[in-house]
Chains A and B, each alone.
Chain A
């Protein structure tokens, strides 16, 4: 797992069904709209130290809607 903040998370809005797993696991990176569907906070940049949470969010999404972009 990279230890520098070069990661971005992104929620694929078409795939998200509002399971709320990403927000529960990484509230620093995801927020919900009024319907409970998720999106990344800001541009999705993952601050240093939150990489593991980002990967957990990705690997717990039942709809495979959370993507991680390594830049």
Chain B
């Protein structure tokens, strides 16, 4: 659908505009210099801070900025709670605490062998062909199947998850009924499994959630289903985009790719740098009380796009912010958010990114782009078509 042309990025920006979707970085750099907190009347009013310090200030301020809406949509839907990401203090902390133990580095480490095997199964399918769509055939499959594996669900249901994600995060931005339909379908899907795992618990995340106690009380069904919805939505699209961006970078920067093959010990800093430079996730907040940050007054009822990707490109925070430096030593990036809503899946995402890049480089060390790349629009940024040849 064609959107009205943007007349001025500082006062009329549109994060669904094709120019923004294809290459947002020059737009953000320009905003950061001229009007560090931009605003648009589109989407019923949205602010867009581009400086690290301002993004940080909003992320830390739970008094004026609420998480009850975390996606900017053309028309706000009735709230679809997905605790703890949509929770504010004081409800946030207990909802988060119960979810943390299955996502610690030690817990995630146990999933690594499955992730490596999965990556190789996917590569097996296209290795002999000399070409692949690295977004469709590789990047998106890894998180979808690994989340299914964690939840104790059929890995083949990944197709179903991707459909819901598109409905919530892409089509649902301009047509709320689609997002609501997806929420309803997910509810039904998870209800069945939740019931089943309550009766017959297994060694999976759904069983963990239906049997855990918070303050001596089991979680309400609504809470369990909302949390499962969150894990599905937040755990797949984001990592898929992150992996895709890594591969896009390596396809277009042969010197970095060859260096990583030669010096695999650089993988840890490289992954952090890819996370900084191509942070996939832009969150949102709803202004609930008027406040002023850096000279800009935020009006209640309007939204804020909380662009960790823009913060990560702020030259006042990062030296050579516009350059990808795979051995960057100091990297205080905000790809997983700042403050109480730090991405709960960050350890999982880092493991998936590392495994996906390592296994691909082991099997296919030389590759390049084979055609046009398309990028996702909306809350999560990453390649959706990424043709490579090798």
Whether A24 sits at the interface, judged by CB under 8 Å, is yes
Known contacts A18-B342, A61-B332, A63-B338; is-contact A35 B105 (Cβ 8 Å): no
What is the minimal beta-carbon distance from A46 to any residue of chain B, in angstroms?
A: 18
A18 and B339 CA atoms in complex are apart in Å by 10
In angstroms, Cα B340 to Cα A32, docked, is 17
> How far apart sit A59 and B101, CA to CA, in the bound complex (Å)?
26
Q: Are B104 and A34 in contact (CB-based, < 8 A)? A: yes
Which residue of A34, A35, A59 is within 8 Å of B330 (Cβ)?
A59
Q: Identify the interface centre among A18, A56, A64: most chain B CB within 10 Å of its CB.
A: A18
User: How many angstroms between the C-alpha atoms of A35 and B272 in the bound complex?
Assistant: 22
Asked if residues B104 and A35 are in contact (CB atoms below 8 Å), the reply is: yes
Instruction: State whether A34 touches B342 (Cβ < 8 A).
Output: no
The reply to whether A32 and B336 form a contact with Cβ atoms under 8 Å apart is no
Q: Digit string of A35-46 for contact with B (CB within 8 Å is 1, else 0)?
A: 110000000000
Are A36 and B331 in touch, CB under 8 angstroms?
no
Which partner residue on chain B sits nearest A34 by CB separation? Answer: B101
Q: Is B333 an interface residue (CB 8 A)?
A: yes
A47 contacts the other chain (Cβ, under 8 Å)? Answer: no
Using a CB-CB cutoff of 8 Å, which residues 1-56 of chain A contact chain B?
17-20, 23-24, 32, 34-36, 56
Among A20, A23, A59, the residue within 8 A (CB) of B346 is A20
Which of A34, A35, A59, A62 sits near B334, CB closer than 8 Å? A62
Tell whether, in the assembled complex, residue A24 and residue B268 are in contact, meaning their CB atoms are under 8 Å apart: yes
Q: Does B79 contact A (CB under 8 A)?
A: no
Shortest Cβ distance from residue B242 to the other chain A in the assembled complex, whole angstroms: 16
Number of B interface residues in the complex (CB < 8 A):
22
Does B3 interact with chain A (Cβ within 8 Å)? no
Instruction: Verify B332–A59 contact, CB threshold 8 A.
Output: yes
Do A20 and B338 touch across chains, with their CB atoms under 8 A apart?
Answer: no
Q: Which residues of A contact B126 (CB under 8 A)?
A: none
Q: Is B34 in the interface zone, CB < 8 Å from A?
A: no
**Bound complex: CA of A60 vs CA of B106, how far in Å?**
20
Q: When the two chains form the complex, which single residue of A24, A61, A62 contacts B336, counting CB atoms closer than 8 Å?
A: A62
Indicate if the CB atoms of B104 and A60 lie closer than 8 Å.
Answer: no
Residues of chain B from 89 to 109 with CB closer than 8 A to chain A in the complex: 97, 100-101, 103-106
Q: How far is the CB of B352 from chain A (nearest CB, A)?
A: 15
Q: Encode contact with A along B263-305: 1 for CB under 8 Å, 0 otherwise.
A: 0000010001000000000000000000000000000000000
* Chain B residues near A35 (CB-CB < 8 A): 97, 100-101, 104
Q: Is B385 an interface residue (CB 8 A)?
A: no
B211 within 8 A of A: no
Minimum Cβ distance to chain A for residue B75 (Å): 33
B329 touches A (CB below 8 Å): yes
Determine if A19 and B104 form an interchain contact, defined as CB atoms under 8 angstroms apart: no
Q: Does B62 make an interface contact (CB < 8 A)?
A: no
Contact (A23, B331) CB under 8 Å given A17-B340, A36-B100:
no
Q: In the complex where A17-B339, A24-B268 touch, is A60 in contact with B330 (Cβ < 8 A)?
A: yes
**Interchain CA distance A33-B336 in the complex, whole Å:** 20
Cα–Cα distance between A40 and B350 once the two chains are bound (Å): 22
Residues of B near A63 (CB, < 8 A) are 338-339, 342
Distance from A69 Cβ to chain B, minimum over Cβ atoms (Å): 20
> Which residues in chain B, 304-355, are within 8 Å of chain A measured between CB atoms?
329-334, 336, 338-340, 342, 346-347
CB <8 Å contact, A62 and B333: yes
Asked if residues B104 and A62 are in contact (CB atoms below 8 Å), the reply is no
* In the bound complex, CA of A62 to CA of B318 (Å): 12
A34 CB, nearest partner CB in chain B, Å: 6
Q: Which residues of A contact B268 (CB under 8 A)?
A: 24
For A60, list chain B residues within 8 Å (CB): 272, 330-332
Give the shortest distance, in Å, between A35 (CB) and chain B (any CB).
4
A62 touches B347 (CB 8 A): no
In the complex formed, the residue of A with least CB distance to B103 is: A36
Report how far A38 CA is from B34 CA in the complex, Å.
39
Q: What would 8 A/B residue contacts be, using CB atoms closer than 8 Å?
A: A17-B339, A19-B342, A24-B105, A36-B101, A60-B330, A61-B332, A62-B334, A63-B339
Q: Residues on A close to B: CB < 8 A?
A: 17-20, 23-24, 32, 34-36, 56, 59-64
Top 9 nearest A-B pairs (CB, nearest first) are A17-B342, A36-B104, A35-B100, A59-B330, A62-B332, A34-B101, A36-B100, A20-B105, A62-B334
